[in-house]
Amino acid sequence: MVTFARHGYRKTSMEEVARAARISRPGLYFLFSSKETLFRAAVTQTLEHDITAVERILADTGRPLPERLVEAFDQWAGRYIGALTHDVGVVVEDNPGLLGEIVETVPRRFEELITDAIAVGSGKQAARPLAQTLISVSVGLKHQAGSREFYLERLEVAVGLVLR
């Protein structure tokens, strides 16, 4: 993902990916038949890793809900804010046609997880718009934030307001 983020999908060559992975180009083609297949696998692995981490964070009910929500959003979006890591999100957002349904199913799962975490205190019906509002705030902050710290500070405020 770092190589795709650095150069963008179109400008990334299999040679560059192979070099970054420290394998031969033929070895890379043995594992992945095309750049599109490799890109899809890399994004899928990243999204699945992120959603698994979010599940783990939100399941830790021994911690306060606001703390868990901020950490879940940090895992989902905050960690991609900054120099090169910001471009990871951009390269995914710029190539949805290459990725298939995962770019819809995993964000939907994220919304469900956030909704379920909030629903414990407010009920499912009230929780959905609260979760959707926090997701909208996160998206806006991601595009405004010059740093991960700024994103997290503003997100903490938003979580506090939404959960009042």
- Encode pLDDT of 22-81 as tens digits: 999 999 999 999 988 998 888 888 889 999 999 999 999 999 999 999 999 999 988 888
What is the count of structural domains for the chain?
1
Q: Is residue 87 part of a domain?
A: yes
Q: Mean pLDDT, to the nearest integer, of 159-163?
A: 95
Q: Is residue 34 part of a domain?
A: no
**Which amino acid appears at position 141 of this protein?**
L
Q: Is residue 124 part of a domain?
A: yes
Q: Is residue 49 part of a domain?
A: yes
Q: Is residue 127 part of a domain?
A: yes
- Mean pLDDT, the chain, whole residue set: 88
Q: Cα separation of 53 and 50, whole Å?
A: 5
Q: Is residue 16 part of a domain?
A: no
Q: Cα separation of 53 and 79, whole Å?
A: 12
What residues have CB less than 8 Å from 124, skipping those under 6 apart?
115, 116
Range of the domain at 140: 45-162
Q: Report the length, in residues, of the chain.
A: 164
Q: Is residue 29 part of a domain?
A: no
Q: Is residue 28 part of a domain?
A: no
pTM over 0.75, yes/no: yes
